[in-house]
Amino acid sequence: MAVTIDQSFPARARVLVVAPPGRRAADTEGSALLTESLSGLPGLELQHADSFEEAAQRLEHGGVDVLLLSDAEVGSGALATVRRLSRLAADLPLLVWAGEADRNRRISFVRAGAQEVLTGSRPDSDDLAEALALAWNRKAWQRDLAPSQLYEPSTGLPTRTLLFDRWALAAIRARQAGTWIAVIDVDIDDFDRISQLLRKRGGEEPLVRQVAQRIATALRATDTVARLDRHELLILLEDTTSLEDAEHCVEKIQRAISERFLIGDEPLFLQVSIGVAFARGQETRDLEDLLRRSQLAKLRHRAQRGLDQPKRPPNAWG
């Protein structure tokens, strides 16, 4: 069956494959493998550049839709090349094929400006097709969306839109690496009553920011804390190698939330309901199903604690 790229991608996309620093595309196995895999995708026009300087010249004259750095695990200059390419062509999606690079290396490439980092001993046409489409759409979102649609102005937290974007990229990485994705749904109990008490103390937003900051201390740099509702936060855990990883994360979150909060001079103690759901392989394609399962788990957690109906949590205010 032929592999296709979704309709949002250009009908005749021009992909510039850039060789790693100090090596020519013709001399690298990675460039050859990428060319072979990309050749199986219809509607792509492949170009090659043997250096950053050659890539810069091609970009100056136009005619490039997507940048793809090959063999990024070779040589220490690959990270600098990603930074330079992302600055030079800020409007173009930039992908990196990093071979057997570890998690920290992949994170470094994303922080340097890559939209997606592909790994594995051989690029897969299906994964390449999905990564190209997602990277293209991600750049389009960044161009078209106002900042307030990606981050909440009041709390600075990622919105549902940005969460879905990060999940889509995390799902590709999980399928490549054979790892799990986990979502953790955190709901602040009795939030309406607490919000009323906070009206004269700066409102609910400072509290939500503090809760998110506490949760972030229990997470890794690659994980995302987003706000789904006034009192509901969702955490996306990437590269989870075992179910115990997520369980350990939940324990750290619970310990962080159990410490008192300060709103002005007033101490405040919170309780939260938490639900966790996992996905692996093809299951990672459906975030809505993950959200539904995490919410059901959260409701079970509430019921176990006798919170089927909203009640005042004990010792809510110190």
| Cα(287)–Cα(181) distance, integer angstroms | 10
The CA R_g of the chain, rounded to the nearest whole Å, is 22
pLDDT at 275: 93
| Cα(211)–Cα(275) distance, integer angstroms | 16
Q: Enumerate domains of the chain plus CATH numbers.
A: 13-144 (3.40.50.2300), 149-304 (3.30.70.270)
The answer to whether 253 touches 183, Cβ cutoff 8 Å, is: no
| Cα(60)–Cα(58) distance, integer angstroms | 5
**140: Cβ contacts below 8 Å, ≥ 6 apart:** 8
pLDDT per 10-residue tile (average), the chain, 318 residues:
45 80 68 77 82 88 86 70 85 84 77 80 76 75 67 81 81 78 90 81 80 85 84 87 84 90 81 90 79 91 72 36
**195: Cβ contacts below 8 Å, ≥ 6 apart:** 203, 204, 230, 231
Q: Please provide the size of the chain in residues.
A: 318
| Cα(98)–Cα(114) distance, integer angstroms | 11
Q: What's the N-to-C CA distance of the chain in angstroms?
A: 64
| Cα(80)–Cα(172) distance, integer angstroms | 24
Long-range pairs of 190-194 with CB within 8 A, sequence gap ≥ 24: 190/271, 190/310, 190/311, 190/312, 190/313, 190/316, 191/230, 191/231, 192/231, 192/310, 193/310, 193/312, 193/316, 194/268, 194/270, 194/316
φ/ψ (deg, to 5) at 145: -85, 140
Closest CA to 135 of 147, 127, 146: 127
pLDDT at 72: 66
Closest CA to 276 of 299, 310, 307, 308: 299
Closest CA to 238 of 160, 179, 297: 179
Locus of tokens 């409007």 = 91
| Cα(10)–Cα(131) distance, integer angstroms | 14
In one-letter notation, the amino acid at residue 105 is: R
pLDDT at 311: 41
Q: How far, CA to CA in Å, does 252 sit from each of 179, 201, 246?
A: 21, 28, 10
- Tell how far CA 86 is from the center of its chain: 18
